[in-house]
């Protein structure tokens, strides 16, 4: 085990700005009048819609089915009537197919009862199926289907379960409050995952700026569970999987490989609590904890929000935005995405809503690179962001790959330190997207009627 306080090399120290909500208890937001459930809320293939306009749905009903192995179903987060299935603003900035539900104002919102299997009698296969049927994905932002993480190939034995409670992104206190208020649930989720993966040790990594979370988790560790709570140095991006693995286990995940290649599965603490919840209550993933914060919102809060609640409704519930509000971000200021449309729904992967004031927003004016090297000192995976930025501006994407673009985590550390305000990480995200488009197979040849031509 590492000594207290080990960390990774490079990285940055943005102000954590968590004081706005770190001691604010989680409370439940009332059901909004309308919700929008995008069919694309997870990594992998979007779900396939099962409902039609006019259908009545109860809270917890499956409204879309997983389409393939790397996909999960989506469930109604409130009882009501399907008002439409249409293109709707998505948090990633596109328009995406979504099921719109008019929430029944007179419903007690009691979920339709589901059979809750007793987890101890289940095989790992049964646990994975239950997790998948409940639509569970990573709640830390990437939304990777959890049942896939629970299914490592047999030739890759897993030795460690690493629970990611670092929450290094400034402002966010979603995981922090979950660990303080529901530590027993976290341990129960760990127990289920350990049994499913066949691992004998788990470590919960928590940054040292959350002493109450560390205390709550340590106080509630069951005697028969081999779990260690590991305090971590406060540094960004401590919660990135590769950083966390290196700090806790001393292992390096090689370029192009996954944590399971070094015997580790990493799971966000919120997802672990959700796994516990589906076996405790039978509820699928239809609500989540979200931090609504920033100097631009009137009542910073930690809320349990039905998935699909629209941005405008959440902000109204938090007293609206202040006069000097300048930008709204889903996620945090380092890796989050700007949201211009109040109809955009909070999805399974929305960790927080941060309303930045004018003083918090970086000037948009950019300047040429002055070769100061700050970005090289900041990059936790030792890339050369300055060079990558020059290549990105020239559209030389293939050369960027030669300079290890694929290892870039889009963590935003380089952009944060750049004195020329060059939006490096955004440029790298766009470069990756452009490469994916170039490498995608060409669309099938079609005749005049739109049918595919047969060779
Ligand atoms: S965004 Fe990419 S290049 Fe920039 S610091 Fe993070 S990993 Fe390095
Ligand atoms: S931090 Fe900005 S200005 Fe300095 S070398 Fe990197 S890209 Fe250039």
Q: Is 405's C-beta closer than 6 angstroms to any atom of ligand 1?
A: no
Chain centroid offset of residue 13 CA = 21
**Whole-number pLDDT of residue 441:** 67
422, 424, 428: residue to mutate for ligand 2 pocket, most atoms within 8 A of CB: 422
CA of 386 to the centre of ligand 2 (A): 5
Q: Residue 375 CA: which ligand is closest?
A: 2
CA of 181 to the centre of ligand 2 (A): 42
**Whole-number pLDDT of residue 443:** 58
**Whole-number pLDDT of residue 118:** 81
Q: Tell me the DSSP string of 185-207.
A: HHHHHHHHHHHHHT-SEEEEEEE
**Whole-number pLDDT of residue 141:** 75
Q: What is the largest CA-CA distance in the chain?
A: 69
Question: What residue's CA is closest to ligand 2, atom 7?
Answer: 386
Query: Which atom in ligand 2 lies closest to the alpha carbon of residue 367?
Result: 3
**Whole-number pLDDT of residue 4:** 45
Q: Residue 374 CA: which ligand is closest?
A: 2
Query: Which atom in ligand 2 lies closest to the alpha carbon of residue 378?
Result: 1
**Whole-number pLDDT of residue 107:** 83
For the stretch 208-215, contacts whose Cβ atoms lie closer than 8 Å and that sit 24 or more positions apart, written own/partner, are 208/5, 208/232, 208/233, 208/234, 209/16, 209/18, 209/234, 210/22, 210/165, 210/167, 210/176, 210/179, 210/180, 212/180, 213/165, 213/176, 213/179, 213/180, 213/183
**Whole-number pLDDT of residue 175:** 97
CA of 413 to the centre of ligand 1 (A): 6
Q: Residue 400 CA: which ligand is closest?
A: 1
**Whole-number pLDDT of residue 6:** 64
Question: What residue's CA is closest to ligand 1, atom 2?
Answer: 408
pLDDT along the chain (455 residues), means of 10: 64 94 97 97 93 96 94 96 97 95 90 74 91 93 89 92 96 97 97 94 96 98 96 94 93 91 95 93 94 97 98 98 96 93 97 95 89 96 96 94 95 96 95 86 54 44
* Structural tokens at position 153: 């190939």
**Whole-number pLDDT of residue 445:** 58
């Amino acid at each position: 085990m590492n000594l207290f306080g080990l960390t990774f090399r490079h990285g940055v120290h943005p102000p954590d700005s968590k004081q706005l909500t770190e001691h604010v208890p989680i409370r439940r937001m009332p059901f909004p009048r309308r919700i929008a459930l995008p069919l694309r809320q997870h990594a992998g293939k979007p779900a396939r819609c099962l409902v039609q306009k006019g259908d009545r749905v109860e809270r917890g009903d499956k409204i879309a089915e997983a389409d393939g192995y790397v996909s999960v179903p989506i469930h109604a987060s409130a009882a009501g009537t399907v008002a439409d299935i249409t293109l709707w603003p998505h948090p990633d900035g596109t328009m995406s197919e979504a099921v719109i539900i008019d929430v029944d104002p007179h419903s007690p919102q009691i979920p339709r009862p589901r059979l809750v299997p007793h987890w101890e009698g289940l095989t790992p296969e049964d646990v994975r199926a239950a997790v998948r049927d409940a639509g569970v994905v990573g709640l830390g932002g990437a939304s990777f289907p959890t049942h896939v993480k629970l299914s490592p190939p047999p030739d890759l034995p897993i030795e460690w379960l690493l629970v990611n409670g670092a929450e290094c992104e400034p402002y966010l206190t979603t995981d922090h409050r979950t660990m303080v208020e529901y530590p027993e649930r976290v341990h129960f989720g760990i127990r289920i995952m350990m049994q499913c993966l066949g691992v004998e040790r788990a470590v919960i990594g928590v940054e040292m700026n959350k002493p109450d979370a560390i205390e709550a988790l340590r106080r509630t560790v069951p005697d028969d569970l081999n779990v260690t709570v590991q305090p971590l140095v406060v540094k960004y991006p401590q919660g990135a999987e590769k950083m966390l693995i290196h700090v806790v286990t001393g292992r390096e995940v090689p370029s192009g490989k996954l944590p399971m290649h070094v015997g580790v599965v990493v799971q966000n603490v919120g997802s672990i609590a959700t796994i516990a919840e589906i076996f405790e209550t039978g509820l699928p993933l239809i609500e989540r904890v979200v931090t609504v914060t920033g100097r631009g919102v009137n009542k910073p809060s930690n809320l349990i929000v039905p998935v699909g609640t629209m941005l405008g409704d959440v902000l109204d519930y938090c007293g609206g935005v202040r006069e000097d509000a300048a930008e709204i971000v889903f996620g945090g200021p380092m890796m989050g995405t700007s949201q211009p449309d109040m109809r955009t729904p909070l999805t399974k992967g929305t960790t927080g809503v941060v309303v930045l004031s004018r003083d918090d927003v970086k000037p948009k004016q950019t300047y040429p690179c002055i070769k100061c090297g700050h970005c090289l000192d900041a990059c936790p995976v030792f890339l050369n962001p300055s060079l990558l930025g020059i290549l990105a501006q020239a559209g030389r994407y293939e050369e960027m790959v030669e300079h290890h673009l694929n290892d870039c985590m889009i963590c935003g550390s380089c952009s944060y330190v750049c004195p020329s305000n060059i939006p490096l990480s955004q440029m790298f995200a766009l470069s990756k997207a452009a490469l994916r488009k170039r490498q995608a197979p060409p669309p099938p040849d079609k005749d005049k009627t739109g049918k595919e031509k047969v060779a």
